[in-house]
Structure 1
Amino acid sequence: MSSLAWIIASSLAGGLLSVLAAAALTLTARSSWIPWLVSYAIGALLGAVFLETLPEAMAHGRSLQQVSGMVLLGIVVFFVLEKLVLWRHCHLEHCDAHDPVVVPGTRIRSGILILVGDTIHNFVDGILIAAAFLTNVHLGIVTAMAIIAHEIPQEAGDFLILLHSGLSKAKALLFNLLSSLAMLLGALIGYAALEGVRELVPPLLGFAAASMIYVAVADLIPDLHRTPDIRAGAVQVLLIALGIGSIWAVGELVGAHVH
């Protein structure tokens, strides 16, 4: 398969499949299951950052200082975006950022904010998928896997908020599916822009690492701390380890067939 074919297939899978899986989980599973999905997603994100993305960025001849500087810049950018309520993604049914104010008409506005933030997030994820595949197929598959892993609990949380805002199940699913197409758009734009500008790949990988670190540390992990029970904590640690292990295992398997 060509790089473009991998990019299109992975961005469609990352967007559409994650939304459908999230909808199925939301409609059939209890909301108490979402933290377990979040735990796995944390491991997948951190595994992708430290086992794949950052090593690959430095392998392109960039110094540790340059790569770490881009990661630092990315974290600051995502902090600012979150302050503007454009990057915030909750993974539980109730949270301070998304709980609608009990005023007539404000619940729909809460749902709209969720969709706006999700669309922007999907668009950037598509660009990151393109950047990874233009580096090599191995990194692209691992990056797409990490994105799908964290998109499922994110989309499940967003789906719950859309239902809570007053949308029907059918409309919530439709709007989430439309939002997911932004990932394909971002991937195609990323492919067109990066194909002739390979020098941008290492800094974009650093930016990708920043996004994964920020989502895991600033958004996902605080959700887990809302459950202080020691037994639940032990399960969370095991699932985080499973997420890291899955990234390592896929990296080893894909690397053995690609290189």
Structure 2
Amino acid sequence: MTLIAILLGTISAGIGSVWLAALLSFGALARYTQHMLSLAAGALLGTAFMHLLPEAFESQASAHDLFATLLVGLVFFFLLDKAELWHHGHEHHGVPGDSPGPDHDHAHHGHSHGHGHEHASGGWAVLAGDSVHAFGDGILIASAFIADMRLGFVAALAVLVHEVPHHMGDLIVLRRQSANNRRIAIVKVSLAGAVTALGGVVGYALVDQLYGYLPFFLIIAASSFMYVALADLIPQLQKRATLQETAAQIAWLAIGIGLVMLVSALAAHEH
């Protein structure tokens, strides 16, 4: 009975949050792409700095080990991005129309790989980070269900609501990576979200042994969101903009961070 409850809770939290985020991202807000990039950067940074890192550092793990994991995570996602761009570059080598065009005018902002290649950037890091984060969420939900059935449902609901702002960020990144295909973006993030159920099952079987590693799952997930926000999204917002456009970018960035902080505060209150 507990295992069935864990499966229901983790699937609802993992996939339900993605579909809710898709409704919000691709509904009325879809036409404001530039604003959504700012919102995505804010949501990813907010999730990393206001939720994942504090939770990891509240554990018994040593700060030195956690910072070392964060550093390794950031370097790993940088190399993953490099490998993806290198692979993409070889695939498109010598293809007509792949010559430098207007998209290269912002090369000095860190996107020297042109428009087609820009879509490849950040996608794998988001999915890897999402999967690790979802696995950790699954273990957390399983632990809550094992402790008390009612606490389990509260934890599943908290995870579902909590994931919405940052899944909105993920969907924006992956839609750009998938040549603006919303369906592919939703399927990819849903598959990463489904890893929550795997975390739930593994958590149910090995909750005592795995619980000590949870802080490291949180840190690796945080490193992926930090990398994508700082290396992929924010450089795109660094183009020359009017004062009004800059103010809008800052406002949407703040809204993304604020949403995550609000949901974090509500989740903490529920606990």
In the superposition, the TM-score normalised over structure 2's length comes to 0.69
| CA shift digits 1:204-244 (9 cap, x unpaired) | 10101101111110111001012432321121112111222
Instruction: Indicate conservation of the 8 Å contact 2:126/2:170, yes or no.
Output: no
Distance 1:87 1:244, change over 3 A: farther
Distance 1:151 1:25, change over 3 A: farther
Secondary structure of 2:61's aligned partner: coil
Identity %: 23
Tell me by how many angstroms 1:56 deviates: 0.7
Tell me by how many angstroms 1:203 deviates: 0.4
For residues 119 and 65 of structure 1, what CA distance do their matches in structure 2 show?
27
Distance 1:231 1:191, change over 3 A: same
Instruction: Indicate conservation of the 8 Å contact 2:38/2:237, yes or no.
Output: yes
- 2:127 aligned partner, one-letter code: N
Residue number among 200, 203, 214 corresponding to 1:201 in the alignment: 214
Q: For the aligned residues, what is the CA RMSD?
A: 3.4
- 2:164 aligned partner, one-letter code: M
Instruction: Indicate conservation of the 8 Å contact 1:19/1:176, yes or no.
Output: no
For residues 70 and 162 of structure 2, what CA distance do their matches in structure 1 show?
16
- 1:238 aligned partner, one-letter code: A
For residues 239 and 37 of structure 2, what CA distance do their matches in structure 1 show?
12
Query: Which structure's CA Rg is the greater one?
Result: 2
For residues 128 and 187 of structure 2, what CA distance do their matches in structure 1 show?
12
For residues 87 and 201 of structure 1, what CA distance do their matches in structure 2 show?
33
Tell me whether 11-20 or 65-74 shows the greater mean CA deviation.
11-20
5+ long unaligned stretches in structure 2: 88-102, 104-110, 142-154
Question: How many residues are paired up?
Answer: 228
Tell me by how many angstroms 1:77 deviates: 0.5
For residues 134 and 56 of structure 2, what CA distance do their matches in structure 1 show?
14
Distance 1:139 1:45, change over 3 A: farther
5+ long unaligned stretches in structure 1: 89-93, 102-109, 163-171
1:186 aligned onto 2:205: no
Tell me by how many angstroms 1:202 deviates: 0.8
Instruction: Indicate conservation of the 8 Å contact 1:14/1:144, yes or no.
Output: yes
For residues 124 and 71 of structure 2, what CA distance do their matches in structure 1 show?
24
For residues 255 and 42 of structure 1, what CA distance do their matches in structure 2 show?
23
The within-5 A match list for 1:59-208 is 59-85=58-84, 96-97=112-113, 99-100=115-116, 118=123, 121-122=126-127, 124-135=129-140, 137=155, 140-141=159-160, 143-159=162-178, 161=179, 172-195=181-204, 196=206, 197-208=210-221
- 1:7 aligned partner, one-letter code: T
**Could you tell me which residue of structure 2 aligns to residue 9 of structure 1?**
12
Instruction: Indicate conservation of the 8 Å contact 1:123/1:184, yes or no.
Output: no
In the superposition, the TM-score normalised over structure 1's length comes to 0.72
Tell me by how many angstroms 1:59 deviates: 1.4
1:229 aligned onto 2:242: yes
